Amino acid sequence: MKDYEEIKIAPPSSIIPDQMIAYIIVAIFGLFFLAFLILPLVQILKTSFVSQARFTLYNYLEYFGKARIRRSLFNSFYVAGVTTIITTSAAFFVAYALTRTTIKAKGFYKAISSFPLMAPSVVQALALISLFGRNGLITNLVGGKWDIYGPTGIIISEIFYCFPYALLILITTLSAVDTRLNEAAESLGAGPVTTFFKITVPSARYGIFSAAALAFNLTITDFGNPIVIGGDYNVLATEIYTQVEGMQRFDLGATISVILLIPAVMAFVLNNYFTKRNYALISGAARPFLRPSSRSKKAIFTSISIAVTGSIIVIFLAILWTSIVDVWGGRSGESKQILKWLTTFSTRHYDFAHRGRSISVVWTSLWISCIVAFFGTWLSLIAGYIVEKRKPAGGQFLYLISVLPAAIPGLVLGLGYILAFVRINWLYYKASIIILNVIIANFTLGMLSTMTNMKNIDVSIDEASTSLGADLPRSFIRVIFPLSRVSFWNNMLFFFERSMVTISAVIFLVSPKIQLASITIIQLIDDGYIESACAMSTIVVTIVVAVHSLFFILFRRRGIKLI
The residue ranges that bind another protein (CB under 8 A) are: 1, 3-5, 7, 9-14, 17-18, 458, 460-461, 463-471, 474, 478-479, 482-483
CA dist., res. 467 & res. 460, Å (int): 10
- What does the buried/exposed string (b/e) look like for 12-39 if buried means 16 or more CB atoms within 10 Å of the residue's CB? eeeeeebeebbbebbeebeebbeebbeb
Q: Which is nearer to another protein, 7 or 262 (CB)?
A: 7
CA dist., res. 61 & res. 47, Å (int): 14
What totals of helices (H) and strands (E) does the chain contain, helices first? 28, 2
Strands (E), 318-422: none
**Closest distance to another protein from the beta carbon of 238 (Å):** 49
Which residue, among 307, 442, 370, has the nearest Cα to 37 in the 3D structure? 442
CA dist., res. 56 & res. 177, Å (int): 51
Q: Which is nearer to another protein, 399 or 481 (CB)?
A: 481
CA-CA-CA-CA dihedral for 38, 40, 45, 51, to nearest 10 = 140
CA dist., res. 331 & res. 329, Å (int): 7
**Closest distance to another protein from the beta carbon of 472 (Å):** 10
Q: Which is nearer to another protein, 479 or 509 (CB)?
A: 479
**Closest distance to another protein from the beta carbon of 448 (Å):** 24
Q: Which is nearer to another protein, 110 or 390 (CB)?
A: 390
Residue 51 forms beta bridges with which residues?
54
Q: Which is nearer to another protein, 8 or 295 (CB)?
A: 8
DSSP H/E element including 180: helix 180-187
DSSP H/E element including 430: none
**What is the Cα Rg of the chain in Å?**
26
**Closest distance to another protein from the beta carbon of 20 (Å):** 9
Q: Which is nearer to another protein, 3 or 232 (CB)?
A: 3
Q: Which is nearer to another protein, 19 or 511 (CB)?
A: 19
Residue 141 in contact with residue 341, Cβ under 8 Å?
no
Q: Which is nearer to another protein, 121 or 490 (CB)?
A: 490
Residue 325 forms beta bridges with which residues?
345
Strands (E), 52-157: 54-55
Burial of 297 (0-12, 13-18, 19+ CB in 10 A): middle
**Closest distance to another protein from the beta carbon of 8 (Å):** 8
**Closest distance to another protein from the beta carbon of 458 (Å):** 5
Give the distance from CA 346 to its chain's centroid. Answer: 33
**Closest distance to another protein from the beta carbon of 475 (Å):** 9
Helices (H), ranges, 101-122: 106-113
**Closest distance to another protein from the beta carbon of 46 (Å):** 38
Q: Which is nearer to another protein, 456 or 511 (CB)?
A: 456
**Closest distance to another protein from the beta carbon of 22 (Å):** 12
Q: Which is nearer to another protein, 512 or 559 (CB)?
A: 559
Determine the residue type at 402: S
Residue 54 forms beta bridges with which residues?
51
CA dist., res. 149 & res. 79, Å (int): 13
CA dist., res. 360 & res. 105, Å (int): 40
**Closest distance to another protein from the beta carbon of 376 (Å):** 24
